[in-house]
Chains A and B, each alone.
Chain A
Amino acid sequence: MDQYVRNLLKKKISIGTYQTEMSQFVFLAVITLLAISVRISVRTFVAQDWDWYWSVWLDELRAGGFRALADDFYDYAPPVMYILYLITLLPINAMTAFKGLCCLLDFVGAILIGKMVYLCTGSQKKAHFSYGIFLFLPTVILNASVWSQCDIIYTLLILSCVYYLLKNKTWTAMWFYGAAFAVKLQSLFIFPFLVILWVRKKVDLKHFITLPIMYLVGIFPAWLAGRPFMELLGIYAFQGSKDRWSLSIKFPNIYQIIGNNFFLDEYVGAGMYLILGILMMVMFYMAYQKVQVHKEMVILMVIFFGMLTTYFLPHMHERYLYLTDAFLLVYIMMRVKRFPLFIAAGFLTVVGYAQYLTKNDPTVAYGVLAFVQLLLLIQIGLDLYQYLHNPEYVLSADAVEERGIL
């Protein structure tokens, strides 16, 4: 019996083109079932955002139908509102439907992360492990199934973008990035990595056309519904003018160190110009580093720029490290000794979530967390710096650069 079970677990199993050992398959099945269970068990939690925003928007959409999109009651990008509109058409509880959709995307995201890890490391076990970790990241569970937030949507689109970039399918990748931009302004946090890829000949200018096209495609139905075109073009500007009550909304960044309740209006502009200046200098420095672009560099750049911009931009929310957490998971699978970084990042982000959901003050001050976040940023920055100066990757001045990512 024992031998039979052991042999069975070692047996190869195929699902379509995907082949793995039975033991791996069992692991994936168990972890998936557990991930589904945890999400089902918390599905009835009603977060404040749901009461204040989502349900109000749904009521408007129910009352006005598709035509309601003409009104300015929402400040999210229109594609998210189309999802809400579709939900109003379903004969099930709206919150369950919305959470269900986002949780479903959690699983798609986990699969994509697994595929990306496999692409970067060639290890199926690491891919399976990262699939499981992503599904059980506290912030991933809390974001969709508890808080009813939808950060997984743009994260998934950016994960797809990077996945296809790594596979050197540039057009596909950039369509996904364009879609991410159409869904969420936060996709711009990592935009400088695309500029560096352009300098290193991995992306061309023509690929950037996907951003305006996808944005226009995204707002087109809302325009058809009757919302003024200029208003739709400026919807992100309106988003930026919200949340002016604090410079950092439970987010561990520089404002938690120097003060987040003063110069509220002034720092909006100043913070943006400061990060613009910092990004200019970083991009200037990186543009001069002629190196082979490997997958590790791409992942590192996404994490670095994601962390850097959020560290200095005002009005960051606790949820805005969702994207970098996902990429950090891919990175630690490539460089296992950085695992503590991932653990620390996970703890940092969950503090803000916990405060929002429980309405209790955190036991650790945000200022302390901001210093920890700074350390994480520095470590990622140093890893990137070491990559750029690794003699293995540095190219001579007259070397011809490869078109694709290695």
Chain B
Amino acid sequence: MRFDLDGYLRDLLFRKFCIGKFHFDFLEALLAVCITGAGFLLRTPFETGLPHWLFLLVEWYLAVLSAVLIWNGTGSRKKTILTYAILIVLPTIVADGTILRSNACIGALLFVSALLFLEKDQQWLFTIISAGLLLWSVKYIGILFACMVLWQSRRLKSEQLLVLLAAGGARCFVAYRAWLAAGYTLATFHWPNIYEIVGKAAVQGQLIDPIALVGLFLAFGLLILTVWLFSQGRLEIGTVTMLRLFLFFGLAAGYFLPYMDQSYGYLYAVLSVLYFVCLSKEFPVPMLLQIVTFAAYQECFNGEAMMSMAIFAVIQFLIIAWLGIQLLQEAGVISVWKKRN
């Protein structure tokens, strides 16, 4: 009997294997191995030697943890492996860790861990990690407002919210006190937000830039208003809604807050990938957000952008509006308001 190589190889692709409690197809393992190799090679052109092991390790672990989050949320092996694959070659991740040697990957890794704890109903661990992030940097402040909605939906307790409020409030106070008095000449550092549309040059000759100060209060005011709006309805918090919530508040906060930099979009670029893997019809969200965040990094490296950053700011606004409308619909706020009218 003739040996059918084609048949053998085709069967091999979909043959099931088992190592311990892990079940997988050969093709899944093949993708995992090959994409890891591609991810490694993707980083090499920017290095004089091998990619920095620490960044490589953290980024790899971020991809693995995100895949675990998707596995817990969906139970789909293909979605899990695709999450890992996308994150290992995500240009924003490469830009931050390999080109810029920045530490946004650590923040993203911590937050994905926090989400894992939240998914397992270990709210205190979620709270501690999130509070740590809030204390670390203002760029995670959007998480705080998303947590307020989680608290409304009884996914967080009041004491946990208070911890988060204290951490976020303290960090914001300290950071903006220093930044507003620092005499910055720009209101945004490569992050394409509202200031790219209205003008990012700071008002000179003032003790404090009034535009940035107004922007700061505008950001908090708008976010509080949105949180209040959500309290008019009720959100059922599943994995998709949770991701949408963090994406919305995260992006909305950064859209109005002054002095945000290119790395602001990192965490949300990662979360948007998870969001898309859970809900494939939402593919424009990660795709456009990826373009926006990478454009921010590009402007940072190159000192100039290929096209006006206002275009990316408009794109980002559309993403925020899209996510916000979906959340309001899901919470039933829009139907409630229609009835009241």
Q: Which residues of A come within 8 Å of B, CB atoms? A: 198-199, 201, 204-206, 254-263, 265-270, 273-274, 276-278, 280-281, 284-285, 287-288, 365, 367-368, 378
Structural contact, B27 and A284, CB atoms closer than 8 A: yes
Q: If A259-B306, A367-B307 touch, does A204 touch B6 (CB 8 Å cutoff)? A: yes
Roughly how many angstroms separate A269 CA and B51 CA in the complex, as a whole number?
Answer: 14
- A277-B35, A367-B311 known; 5 new pairs, CB 8 Å cut-off, are A254-B291, A258-B295, A261-B302, A262-B302, A280-B34
Q: If A258-B295, A258-B306 touch, does A270 touch B46 (CB 8 Å cutoff)? A: yes
Contacts of B42 in A (CB 8 A): 269-270, 273-274, 277
Q: If A205-B6, A280-B38 touch, does A270 touch B298 (CB 8 Å cutoff)? A: no
Closest 10 CB pairs of A and B: A269-B45, A277-B89, A367-B307, A273-B42, A277-B38, A266-B45, A259-B306, A262-B302, A273-B41, A284-B31
Roughly how many angstroms separate A267 CA and B91 CA in the complex, as a whole number?
Answer: 11
Interface 1/0s, chain B 259-292, versus A by CB < 8 A?
0000000000000000000000000100100010
Q: Which residues of B come within 8 Å of A, CB atoms? A: 5-6, 9-10, 13, 27-28, 31, 34-35, 38-39, 41-42, 44-46, 78, 81-82, 85-86, 88-89, 91, 94, 284, 287, 291, 294-295, 298, 301-302, 304-307, 311
Structural contact, A280 and B291, CB atoms closer than 8 A: no
Contacts of A257 in B (CB 8 A): 291, 295, 306-307
Structural contact, A287 and B38, CB atoms closer than 8 A: no
Contact of A288 among B41, B46, B78, B294 (CB under 8 A): B78
Structural contact, B298 and A269, CB atoms closer than 8 A: no
Q: Which partner residue on chain A sits nearest B98 by CB separation?
A: A270
Roughly how many angstroms separate A274 CA and B6 CA in the complex, as a whole number?
Answer: 29
Contacts of A288 in B (CB 8 A): 27, 78
Contact of A365 among B284, B287, B307 (CB under 8 A): B307
Give B139 Cβ to nearest chain A Cβ, in Å. 22
Contact of A273 among B6, B38, B284 (CB under 8 A): B38
Contact of A281 among B9, B31, B284 (CB under 8 A): B31
Q: Which partner residue on chain B sits nearest A201 by CB separation?
A: B10
Contact of A277 among B6, B78, B85, B291 (CB under 8 A): B85
Roughly how many angstroms separate A285 CA and B283 CA in the complex, as a whole number?
Answer: 15
Q: Which partner residue on chain A sits nearest B312 by CB separation?
A: A257
Roughly how many angstroms separate A278 CA and B306 CA in the complex, as a whole number?
Answer: 24
Contacts of B291 in A (CB 8 A): 254, 257-258
Contacts of A278 in B (CB 8 A): 89
Give A196 Cβ to nearest chain B Cβ, in Å. 12
Contacts of B6 in A (CB 8 A): 198, 201, 204-206
Contacts of B304 in A (CB 8 A): 259
**22 chain-A/chain-B pairs, Cβ below 8 angstroms:** A198-B6, A199-B13, A205-B9, A257-B306, A259-B298, A259-B306, A260-B306, A262-B298, A263-B301, A266-B46, A273-B41, A273-B45, A274-B89, A277-B88, A281-B82, A281-B85, A281-B86, A284-B82, A287-B27, A288-B78, A367-B306, A368-B307
Give B13 Cβ to nearest chain A Cβ, in Å. 7
Structural contact, B82 and A285, CB atoms closer than 8 A: yes
Roughly how many angstroms separate A365 CA and B307 CA in the complex, as a whole number?
Answer: 9
Contacts of B91 in A (CB 8 A): 274
Structural contact, A259 and B86, CB atoms closer than 8 A: no
Contacts of A368 in B (CB 8 A): 307
Roughly how many angstroms separate A122 CA and B94 CA in the complex, as a whole number?
Answer: 49
Structural contact, B302 and A259, CB atoms closer than 8 A: yes
Contacts of B35 in A (CB 8 A): 277, 280-281
Roughly how many angstroms separate A265 CA and B38 CA in the complex, as a whole number?
Answer: 18
Contact of B301 among A262, A273, A281, A285 (CB under 8 A): A262
Roughly how many angstroms separate A346 CA and B35 CA in the complex, as a whole number?
Answer: 35
Give A346 Cβ to nearest chain B Cβ, in Å. 23
Contacts of A277 in B (CB 8 A): 35, 38-39, 42, 85, 88-89
Contact of B38 among A267, A268, A276 (CB under 8 A): A276
Contacts of B41 in A (CB 8 A): 269, 273
Q: If A199-B13, A277-B89 touch, does A267 touch B31 (CB 8 Å cutoff)? A: no
Give B80 Cβ to nearest chain A Cβ, in Å. 12
Give B294 Cβ to nearest chain A Cβ, in Å. 6
Contacts of A274 in B (CB 8 A): 38, 42, 89, 91
Roughly how many angstroms separate A365 CA and B42 CA in the complex, as a whole number?
Answer: 29
| Of A260, A270, A276, most B-chain CB atoms within 10 Å | A270
Roughly how many angstroms separate A79 CA and B221 CA in the complex, as a whole number?
Answer: 68
Roughly how many angstroms separate A379 CA and B78 CA in the complex, as a whole number?
Answer: 23
Contacts of B298 in A (CB 8 A): 258-259, 262
Contacts of B295 in A (CB 8 A): 257-258
Give B192 Cβ to nearest chain A Cβ, in Å. 12
Contacts of A266 in B (CB 8 A): 45-46
Contacts of B9 in A (CB 8 A): 205
Contacts of B5 in A (CB 8 A): 205
Contacts of A260 in B (CB 8 A): 306
Q: Which partner residue on chain A sits nearest B41 by CB separation?
A: A273
Q: Which partner residue on chain A sits nearest B299 by CB separation?
A: A259
Roughly how many angstroms separate A260 CA and B34 CA in the complex, as a whole number?
Answer: 28
Roughly how many angstroms separate A5 CA and B35 CA in the complex, as a whole number?
Answer: 66
Q: Which partner residue on chain A sits nearest B6 by CB separation?
A: A204
Give B221 Cβ to nearest chain A Cβ, in Å. 33
Structural contact, A268 and B45, CB atoms closer than 8 A: yes
Q: Which partner residue on chain A sits nearest B38 by CB separation?
A: A277
Give A118 Cβ to nearest chain B Cβ, in Å. 31
Roughly how many angstroms separate A256 CA and B85 CA in the complex, as a whole number?
Answer: 25
Roughly how many angstroms separate A265 CA and B45 CA in the complex, as a whole number?
Answer: 8
Roughly how many angstroms separate A302 CA and B87 CA in the complex, as a whole number?
Answer: 27
Roughly how many angstroms separate A29 CA and B272 CA in the complex, as a whole number?
Answer: 55
Contacts of B89 in A (CB 8 A): 273-274, 277-278
Structural contact, B10 and A256, CB atoms closer than 8 A: no
Give A190 Cβ to nearest chain B Cβ, in Å. 20
Contacts of B287 in A (CB 8 A): 378
| Of A255, A257, A269, A378, most B-chain CB atoms within 10 Å | A257
Structural contact, A270 and B305, CB atoms closer than 8 A: no
Q: If A204-B6, A258-B295 touch, does A270 touch B45 (CB 8 Å cutoff)? A: yes
Contacts of A267 in B (CB 8 A): 45
Q: Which partner residue on chain A sits nearest B43 by CB separation?
A: A270
Contact of A287 among B13, B46, B311 (CB under 8 A): B13
Contacts of B31 in A (CB 8 A): 280-281, 284
